[in-house]
Each structure stands twice: as C-alpha cells, then as structure tokens.
Structure 1
Amino acid sequence: MTRLSVEMLAAAPVEPITSAGHAQLGIAAVAGIAVIVLLITKFKLHAFLALTIGSLALGAFAGAPLDKAITSFTTGLGSTVAGVGVLIALGAILGKLLADSGGADQIVDTILAKAQGRAMPWAMVLIASVIGLPLFFEVGIVLLIPVVLMVAKRGNYSLMRIGIPALAGLSVMHGLVPPHPGPLVAIDAVKANLGVTLALGVLVAVPTVIIAGPLFSKVAARWVDVPVPDRMIPARASEELQRRPGFGPTLATVLLPVVLMLAKALVDIVVDDPAKMVQRVFDVIGSPLIALLAAVIVGIFTLGRPAGFSKGRISQLVEKGLAPIAGILLIVGAGGGFKQTLIDCGVGQMVLDISKDWSIPALLLAWLIAVAIRLATGSATVATVSAAGLVAPLAADMSTTHAALLVLAIGAGSLFLSHVNDAGFWLVKEYFGLSVGQNLKTWSIMECIISVVAGGLVLLLSLVI
C-alpha cells in the first residue's frame, strides 16, 4: 500500500468501513455517481439532495453499515464547510461590495475608456478576469453581460467578438483560480498548497484565456452573427449612486487577497524555515482566511464609504451578500460528504491501487474523471468535488507543485463541454439571444477549448517543474 501523508491519515480512517473488493467498490462508485446524475438530470432534484442520497447509495452498494456511511458523509460535510465555507462567505461579501458600490463599474469604465477597435476583445478579457477573481461565475455573468451588450451595441461590434472573451475570462477564473468554490474544495481534498495552486493557476489561466477568448472569438464571430438583443440590456447597478470609488483603490482591494496569498507562497519558497519570524508573519497574513478578511475590511473603507454607504447599509449589504450562497455552501458541503464517503469506503485507495499498473498519468486520469462527471451532471462544482474525492489518494506521494497541478487538472476537466444540462448554458443563451445550436457552436466549444488547453498546459508543466 502506498504510504499516506500525515494529512491524509488525519482526514480518513486507516481501515475502510467496508470489506468489499475492488470490483464491488468500482460498481459502488459508478452506481453512486449514476444516482447523483439521474436525480439531477432526470428528476431535477437539487444538487445538495442528490449528493446526499448518492452518498448513502454509494455506501449501500459498497456494503458499508448505514450508520458508518452516515457518519462518513456528515464528517466530510462538516470538514469541507469548515475548510472552505468561511472563505466562500468572505468572497461573496467582497463581491457584493464590489458590485453594489459601483467599484466593478468603475473598473469596467476605466479600462473601456482606454480600449478601442481591435483592443476591445482584449479589454473584455482583462475586465472579466479582474472582476471574476472575487465573484462567483453566475454573479460575474449578471454583472458583465450588460457591459458586453452595451459595448457591442454602441461600438457596433460583433456580439461574439466582445462576449466570448468576457465569458472566457469568467469561466477560467471559476474553474482554475481560488478562492472560487471548486478549486478550494479540490485543494482541501488533495491537501494541496493554496498559494502554489493560485500561482500555477494564474500561470495556466493567462494563455488559456487568450486562446479561448480573443483568439477563438474571431472564429465564433464568423460562425454566429446575431444582433444585440436590446431587451436584455438592463440598468447598471451603480446608476443610482451619486459617486463611486476610484479605480486605483478598487483594483487594489480586489487584488489584495491574491497578492497576500502569492506573497506567502513566495516567502515559503525563498525562506523555507518555519522558525524564522518573516515566514511566520506571512503564514498568517497570507492564509486564505486572513487575506480575504483583510480584503473585506479594506473594501468597507475603499468601496463602501466612497459610495456613500452608511454603517447600516454596509451591514445590510453584508447580509444580502451572504444570502445567495446558502445553496452553494450546501452543494459544496454535500460534495465533501460524498468525497469522504468515497475515501472511507476505500474507493480512493482502489483507484490508487488499480492505477499503479496503468500507463496513464495521474493528472490525465484526474482530468478524464472530471470530464466524465461534468458531461453527466452539467455541474462544474459537482464534477470537481467528486473527481477530487476519487483521485485524492494519488496526491499522497506527490510534490507540492504536482499536488497543485492535480487540482488544476481536475478544475480544467470540470469545465469541459457545457451543454443542455448546465444552468450556465441556458443563462448565456438567454442573455445573448442565441438558439441552442448557436450556443453550442460558441459557448460550448469555448468551454471545450478552455478545458483542453488548460489540461494540456497542466500536463506540460508537470514535465518541467
């Protein structure tokens, strides 16, 4: 048996909760995932309930006692929410501050004022990538689509030429870069270093978003040429505000957690001595919790106050920012419960044992598993948490950088081919006024490009670092 790391031993029992063989465990894993897929796609059940039922079904098919399967699920749910729940909440608050204060609009307007003509698609990628750092994908779409439609309408640009780069920037951030929920869950599952994963995620994200955004948009604009749907141009969030925060303070606030986490990763590499004060300081300020908490506190003064928000309104804004993430937290938590059930039943170790005799690289295996679950469920988050649970034992003997690349391989696979079972597919279709076929030729292919390019870059990096 491959030696497990101390962290893996702490996260999972030494002995599995069932004595099932590899064949039964394989059938149980497939059956558990099939139950989740069927409940989500056929019966339209919420992903939280589907993951909960699927976890219990997995335990039953694996021959585990029901009480132990329930304990595994609740333990995994609790540890996952404890690990990433606060980070998701802080990210939601920061995103709400950014949107309601007009800070997001300030970034958009400032960058668009500097871009004209051929530079516009590149400006849209930059805007989406910056805005997409603290915002969930759906929130980013709702925030940026009005900008995309207005720019295309007023500048007489092709809708696809402007829209695809913006969607690519949001999607890449969502799948590859923490503190988004998917990458955070995968980092927690495989015990990867968040700072290293963030740094490598940005490294992979830049060329990926260039290829899937501005470059692919040229092709997409030729394939699909549709007018801007005027009915879908809503009022912008900050139009009711008398003043907005400045561009510099807004950008600094958005990038603050990223800078702090990257600084910690850099200090860890350069100093590499936990006893030294400088490393201990950066271990604190560069931790995700402190980095995001600092950004929220700073944002109250750099975003909320300049917009004229009173203390009461800021308090209400925080409350409203937390409300929409209840469903996300439950899905992520249930995904963690499913992951822990997989591990406790011995499915993760089974994958490790079987894959020893395969010539397929671990990173490619992780990508393929995430692709399969994404195609079946339509959810990038479900694909990420399920794939992370299956391949987590593969990270036990990996280096810090390769564990981070494993997270990115899972994230890349989770974005593959958004189609009719994905809520994002319909969101983009309706906002852009596309037919199903047109959306498949633009949005869906863009997602495939992101997944394949990012996956390829991850495999390439694994050969050189």
Structure 2
Amino acid sequence: MPHLSVEMLAADATAPITSAGHAQLGIAVLAGIAVIVLLITKFKLHAFLSLIIGSLVLGAVAGAPLDKAIASFSTGLGTTVAGTGVLIALGAVLGKLLADSGGADRIVDTILAKAGGRGRAEGPSREGRWRATGGPMPWAMVLIAGIIGLPIFFEVGIVLLIPVVLLVAKRGNFSLMRIGIPALAGLSVMHGLIPPHPGPLAAIDAVKANLGVTLALGVVIAIPTAIIAGPLFSRYAARWVDIAPPEKMLLSSGETPDPRAQHASDEPDARPGFGITVATVLLPVVMMLAKAMVDVLVDDPKDSLQRVFDVVGSPLIALLAAVVVAMFTLGRAAGFTRGRIASTVESSLGPIAGVLLIVGAGGGFKQTLVDSGIGQMILEISRHWNISALLLAWLIAVAIRLATGSATVATISAAGLVAPLAAEMSTTHAALLVLAVGAGSLFFSHVNDAGFWMVKEYFGMDVGQTLKTWSVMETLISVVGIVGVLLLSLVV
C-alpha cells in the first residue's frame, strides 16, 4: 500500500498559476473552503454560486491573476461536465423510467412478499410505542434500497422508498427505525461508493481511476458496509429512538401518502416483471464489470477481445444501452406509447440541472486547487509523513463533508486535492483512493446537510433523534467503508 513517505510526482506537470509559498497556499485553501461553507450555511446561497465565489477567493488569496483563476475554474467545470455530465443524465433517465413504469414498485412488492409479509411483532412497549424484532424485513429493505439505489440519486431513492418504509412499519407494527435505517443505509452506501452516482464518477475522473475496477471494489466494500450500518445497526437505533410512523404522513385509511403520486391518468397500465426489471437495472453494472474482468485477464491493448469490451464496458455505452433497453423492457411493458416514453425522458432531465451545475462547479474548484499548486504543496509537506495516502484522502473528505454538508462537494474537492497521490499508484489502489474519498464524504451528516432534514421530516423525529439515528448511521458507513478500503489495500 503506497504511503506518503514514498517519493511521488504530481500528475499535472504544468506550471502553477501562482508562485506563492506553502503558507500562502495553505491560507488560500482555508479561505476558499471557509467562504464556501459560510455562503452555503450562513447565507443559504446555492452550492453552485458558492463554489464559483470560493474558487475566485482561493485564486485571489493564492496570488493568482484573476484571469488565470477564471480560466482554471472554467477549464475544470467544462472537463468535469464533459466527463460525467452525460453519465449523470443517462442515469437520471434510467431512474425515471424505473419509477414511472412501476418497475421500482415491482421490485419492492416482490422482495417484501418473499420476506414474509408482516413479520412477527413483539407489540407495544410500556411507553406505548411500537417495537418489533423485524424478522427478515430489515434485510429485505436494505436489499430493496441497494437495487433501487444503483441507478438513481439518493434524494429520488428516498422519495421512492419512504412510502414503502412507512407502510411496512404501520401494517407490520414494526419500530420505524428497524425498517427505515436499513433502507437509508442501502441508499447512502450506493450514493457514496458506487458509480454512476455523481460523486464517485467525478472522483474517478479527477483521480483518473479505472471505472470498472472502482465499481467492482466498491461493490465488495458496499455489501458488508450496508449490512453493518443497516440491519445490524437498526437493532440499536430502534432502542435509542423507538417511534411509530408519524400520523401526519399517513392517510386516514392507514395508507401512506406517496410523494410520487400524480394524476390517476399518469399511472401505468401494467407493470414490468420482477426479473426483467432487475436485469435492466443491473445491465450497465454487468457490462462495466465484464470490461474490468477482461482488462485483468487479457491486459493487452491490441487484443481484439479487450478492444471490444473497452467499448461495450465503457460507462457511456453501458448506460446508453441500459436506457435503450429500459424503453422496451420497462416503458413498453408498462403500456407507454412512444410519446409517453419521450415525455418521461424529457421530464427526467430538468431536475438534474442543479446536480450537474454543482458537480461542474466542484470540478472548477478542484481545478483551481490543482492549478494553484495546492496538490504539489500537499505532496511536499506530507512527503515524510508516515500515514497512508488512503487514510489522508478519507480525512480530507471528512473535513470538507463536516464543513459543507454536501457529500458531492466533499467528494469532488477532496478528489482534486489528493489526485496527485494517484500518479504512481497501481490501478487497484487508485480505485481504492476514490472509494476512500467516497467513504469520507458520508461522515456524520448533520444540520448543514439537506438529507438530514429530509430524513427528520419524513420520519417525524426531532433534531436529537435524527442525530442519534441517521447521523450515527452515516458515520458508521464512513468508518466501516474506510476500514474496508484499508483492508482491501493489503490484499490487492
């Protein structure tokens, strides 16, 4: 495993846009991040605008000419959007087809039916609150969240799954935390560690890691992490916060109001089958993993088989193939006309505009960091530190996550700072560097994170209860994730 005591060269050999010393560069980094944090948390400015202003402040404090700082930011924004924007858009289209066709509902209903329906409740506690052993339901919920969370964003996954979580807890007389924590853990692990989610994709692009290898190693780490932070931790979370589904989220009939519900005319005529739905969702994953496997077994750029899989397993082709297949296996199976499919695709792109802008601006901030010479500074200062590069990457991501509240901003910014460390890393360790950053970006979600407030309101908890459940769960994911990364680095 590479350590910072090993001599490393910066990946970018171009001269920095400033000749400032280490002290000035350090102050510039702190000033840039402080401005971003202040604007997001205190003044509630959109992260896109905050990142632009923070980038300019960083360049100015570092002593870079303003035109050079602007050029660096613009270059980083364009490169990031070009590398990840199309993939994010394709992932959004696939997720929208999955939701609107009823495919997501089919996966949920099938797995819940296999899990045994209501389970065996222990009944109300002395305080009159509900308790439940949960039975197989927590495991079913983390499995559902993992599958649903592969192609869609975390916020969309919450909207899809919360109605199911509340309904299962209500009808089965389960503690809400016993059912809800596994679902949240499955979604969060996918969001932080597994491409094609925006953060991992942007980090892969910044570090120049192999996407297929990152995906394969990410799955290896994600499975035990989701189990520990989901079904296992939910036993303790249910004891700490033993609550029933909030009545304000339930209809008088006992059914759960579905945030996805629109007009009755928008409901699909039928729903695609479970098998074909899961196969469609997993198609891009299988294609990218196949490319990674061929790369390992063949390792000859001139080999015809490897060249074929380089195309077939590229993220663009894999996701594009999944979207085209989904139009038939999901859209047509649900009775969608060509016009309805076109409308679904169109409506999926609007909501991701903000995500694309934040990811792009994060890339601009990253490029400003790099061009200012921050990456080289980190190498020079830490060259003789006896600390793992993977652990350093995690710590940097943790610090930015705690400050900004955004996992995506933390991932992109930290990846830009540690990208030079990957210059002499092997393919597998560069992928682990991405996963270390992803794990750090999930650490301790609190009041400056929009996801914190979403979970609080949906589950009807107060701030203290949310900190004891959701925030601890996120921290557990982050810690277990970096432990998994460090252990894997010893054997790959």
* TM norm structure 1: 0.97
Match for 1:171 among 188, 194, 198? 188
Counterpart CA distance in 2 for 1:28 and 1:241 is 54
**Structure 2 unmatched ranges of 5 or more:** 1-6, 120-134, 250-255
Counterpart CA distance in 1 for 2:69 and 2:113 is 57
Counterpart CA distance in 2 for 1:193 and 1:22 is 32
Counterpart CA distance in 1 for 2:187 and 2:432 is 20
With 429-438 and 228-237 compared, the bigger mean Cα shift is at 228-237
Cross-structure match for 1:199? 216
Match for 1:391 among 408, 412, 418? 418
Equivalent residues in 2 for 1:31-430, closer than 5 Å: 31-116=31-116, 117=119, 118-232=135-249, 233-235=256-258, 237=260, 240-430=267-457
Q: CA deviation at 1:241?
A: 2.8
Aligned residue type for 1:445: V
Tell me the secondary structure at the aligned position of residue 256 of structure 1. Answer: helix
Question: Are 1:164 and 1:217, in contact at CA under 8 Å, matched by a contact in 2?
Answer: yes
With 232-241 and 427-436 compared, the bigger mean Cα shift is at 232-241
Counterpart CA distance in 2 for 1:280 and 1:394 is 29
What whole-Å deviation, never above 9, does each CA across 1:6-55 have from its counterpart, x for those lacking one? xx44xxx6100100011111111111111101110111000000000000
Q: CA deviation at 1:173?
A: 0.2
Counterpart CA distance in 2 for 1:76 and 1:420 is 29
Q: CA deviation at 1:237?
A: 4.5
Counterpart CA distance in 2 for 1:235 and 1:420 is 26
Question: Are 1:196 and 1:404, in contact at CA under 8 Å, matched by a contact in 2?
Answer: yes
Counterpart CA distance in 2 for 1:200 and 1:230 is 42
Q: CA deviation at 1:193?
A: 0.4
Q: CA deviation at 1:157?
A: 1.1
Counterpart CA distance in 2 for 1:406 and 1:145 is 32
Cross-structure match for 1:459? 486
Equivalent residues in 2 for 1:443-458, closer than 5 Å: 443-458=470-485
Counterpart CA distance in 1 for 2:355 and 2:27 is 29
Counterpart CA distance in 2 for 1:278 and 1:464 is 28
Q: CA deviation at 1:460?
A: 1.1
Q: CA deviation at 1:272?
A: 0.8
Counterpart CA distance in 2 for 1:463 and 1:273 is 26
With 350-359 and 418-427 compared, the bigger mean Cα shift is at 350-359
Question: Are 2:159 and 2:260, in contact at CA under 8 Å, matched by a contact in 1?
Answer: no
Counterpart CA distance in 1 for 2:248 and 2:286 is 40
Aligned residue type for 2:8: T
Tell me the secondary structure at the aligned position of residue 431 of structure 1. Answer: helix
Q: CA deviation at 1:462?
A: 1.1
Question: Are 2:217 and 2:432, in contact at CA under 8 Å, matched by a contact in 1?
Answer: yes
Give 1 or 2: higher helix fraction: 1
Counterpart CA distance in 2 for 1:385 and 1:282 is 28
What whole-Å deviation, never above 9, does each CA across 1:105-126 have from its counterpart, x for those lacking one? 0000011000033111000000
Counterpart CA distance in 2 for 1:251 and 1:460 is 31
Counterpart CA distance in 2 for 1:103 and 1:45 is 36
Aligned residue type for 2:183: A
Question: Are 2:159 and 2:259, in contact at CA under 8 Å, matched by a contact in 1?
Answer: no
Q: CA deviation at 1:459?
A: 1.0
Aligned residue type for 1:417: F
Q: CA deviation at 1:357?
A: 1.3
Counterpart CA distance in 1 for 2:207 and 2:168 is 42
Question: Are 2:268 and 2:336, in contact at CA under 8 Å, matched by a contact in 1?
Answer: no
The answer as to 2:9 corresponding to 1:3 is yes
RMSD between superposed Cα atoms in Å: 1.1
Q: CA deviation at 1:363?
A: 0.6
Counterpart CA distance in 2 for 1:306 and 1:202 is 30
> Paired residues, what number?
459
Q: CA deviation at 1:63?
A: 0.2
What whole-Å deviation, never above 9, does each CA across 1:269-315 have from its counterpart, x for those lacking one? 00111111110110001000000000000000000001111111111
Counterpart CA distance in 1 for 2:357 and 2:246 is 35
Aligned residue type for 1:120: M
Question: Are 1:102 and 1:237, in contact at CA under 8 Å, matched by a contact in 2?
Answer: no
What whole-Å deviation, never above 9, does each CA across 1:145-188 have from its counterpart, x for those lacking one? 00001111111111100000000000000000000000001000
Counterpart CA distance in 1 for 2:383 and 2:357 is 34
Q: CA deviation at 1:359?
A: 1.1
Cross-structure match for 2:130? none
* TM norm structure 2: 0.92
Question: Are 2:178 and 2:231, in contact at CA under 8 Å, matched by a contact in 1?
Answer: yes
Question: Are 2:169 and 2:244, in contact at CA under 8 Å, matched by a contact in 1?
Answer: no
Aligned residue type for 1:316: S
Counterpart CA distance in 2 for 1:35 and 1:235 is 38
Q: CA deviation at 1:87?
A: 0.1
Q: Percent identity?
A: 78
Counterpart CA distance in 1 for 2:179 and 2:51 is 37
Q: CA deviation at 1:235?
A: 3.2
Aligned residue type for 2:139: W
With 75-84 and 242-251 compared, the bigger mean Cα shift is at 242-251
Counterpart CA distance in 2 for 1:248 and 1:64 is 56
Tell me the secondary structure at the aligned position of residue 136 of structure 2. Answer: helix
Counterpart CA distance in 1 for 2:278 and 2:474 is 27
Q: CA deviation at 1:355?
A: 1.4
Counterpart CA distance in 2 for 1:309 and 1:236 is 21
Question: Are 1:370 and 1:383, in contact at CA under 8 Å, matched by a contact in 2?
Answer: yes
What whole-Å deviation, never above 9, does each CA across 1:317-342 have from its counterpart, x for those lacking one? 11110000000000000000000000
Question: Are 2:100 and 2:268, in contact at CA under 8 Å, matched by a contact in 1?
Answer: no
**Structure 1 unmatched ranges of 5 or more:** none
Question: Are 2:389 and 2:421, in contact at CA under 8 Å, matched by a contact in 1?
Answer: yes
Counterpart CA distance in 1 for 2:437 and 2:187 is 17
Aligned residue type for 2:9: R
Question: Are 2:442 and 2:474, in contact at CA under 8 Å, matched by a contact in 1?
Answer: yes
Counterpart CA distance in 1 for 2:393 and 2:300 is 32
Aligned residue type for 2:173: N
